[in-house]
Structure 1
Amino acid sequence: MEAELAKGPAAHGWEDQRWTLSRVKTVIGRRFHLTYTIQGVRKLLVRNGWSCQAPARRVRERDDEAVAGWVKEVWPCAEDSRR
């Protein structure tokens, strides 16, 4: 299973570079002909040292200035509307 996950999601037909529990479940079913529940896949991954993580790098297209402007201008308005 480690070797299959190391190939990445793109090698198994998914465009983006994220593993989800349902994708891992699909790979296990296709490759090993086993059926797991989503919770079972999660437990299997945790037992093998995998954890839920966010990507370590930011996307190239990210505009930090635009994000900072949004946080200063738009976010306060959104927070006030909840109250």
Structure 2
Amino acid sequence: MRKSVAIAAALLLAACGQKADLEPLAGHDLPPTPYGAPAQPDSEDLLKLDPLAAPDRSVELRKRSEERQDDPFDLPPE
């Protein structure tokens, strides 16, 4: 009995994913067109992140060991 309930719950959870495009709620509109924009952005455009909000990861691998430069603010505790 428990197995059938668990399987049914898993199937219900798997079936609840939304596949349709996002639309504003009934009676609501999209935000106003930004000043200077040539057209009203749709929901896909509004969900895109700016490059500054999610910058690309910069992975810089060191090829060899390097001596640290002197840091004048790296002082011992008082």
TM-score, structure 1 length as denominator? Answer: 0.25
Q: Pick the structure with greater CA Rg.
A: 2
Query: What is the TM-score with the length of structure 2 in the denominator?
Result: 0.25
